Amino acid sequence: MKKTYKTIIVSVLFLMNVFLVYCVYAFHLYRDNDVKKVYNIDYASVSLEYSEQIEIPAPNFVSYEIKLPLVSSDYYYGKFENATAGVNEFMDSYIYKLGEGVGLLENDVISLKDVNSYIMTSKGYGYGVCWFVTALGGLIDEVNSKWMAINHTAVFTVTESHPHSTTYQTYFPNRYYGYAIYNGDYVYDYSFVVSNPEVREVHMIFTSQTDNPNAYMGYSIDGKVIIFLS
């Protein structure tokens, strides 16, 4: 009889250990899947209209988008090429955590060098990169405006910006005004920092498009920002 009890006790302890191991495995599996919900994001599947704010399935990040399709009256040779060069340079480092930011010229994010595909235009060397800077600045303005209206705080602090002296139809979503950068006898920079303590990090994704059906020659500079909350 004592042997039978001992066998039962050993069997119960064994089953309890098996159950405990299963629980630990299930917890780690759930945790890993939960993390993947946050970080494995299919950016291409996020489709938003400019200035619209939504919550994507996981409730801890939101996204905004801007599109600046080219209007024919604004076209000159090199405008798109220089804007694309700006996009490509910026996308070398596009993730910013709370307290981080950048000055496009100060931190050499935008080099305005021919080795990075900037070219001469009829308006001057590198002209057209402001198309990208306007997409960046316009998107930051829109995010701040929406957050101020809802949360009474901005996501970004813009530490330097210079409105373009000329209006362009292409910049309609930004009230026709662009943001200028210039590095010559004087310097016009565009600088920002992520300053809202409710934000953990920001992903800023910009692309140059050649197939926008609403754009002259299909050219468009588009931007998207995904804001991860603390």
CB atoms within 10 A of CB 66: 26
Greater model confidence, 50 or 111: 111
Distance CA 68, CA 65 (A): 10
Distance CA 66, CA 52 (A): 10
Residue 228 DSSP code: E
Mean of pLDDT values over 164-175: 81
- The residue extents of the domains of the chain are 1-40, 49-229
- pLDDT tens, 144-159? 999 999 889 999 999 9
Mean of pLDDT values over 81-103: 94
pTM over 0.85: no
Mean of pLDDT values over 201-217: 95
- pLDDT tens, 95-132? 999 999 999 999 999 999 999 999 999 999 999 999 99
In DSSP notation, 166-210 reads: EE-GGGGGGTTEEE--EESSSEE--EEEE--TTEEEEEEEEEEES
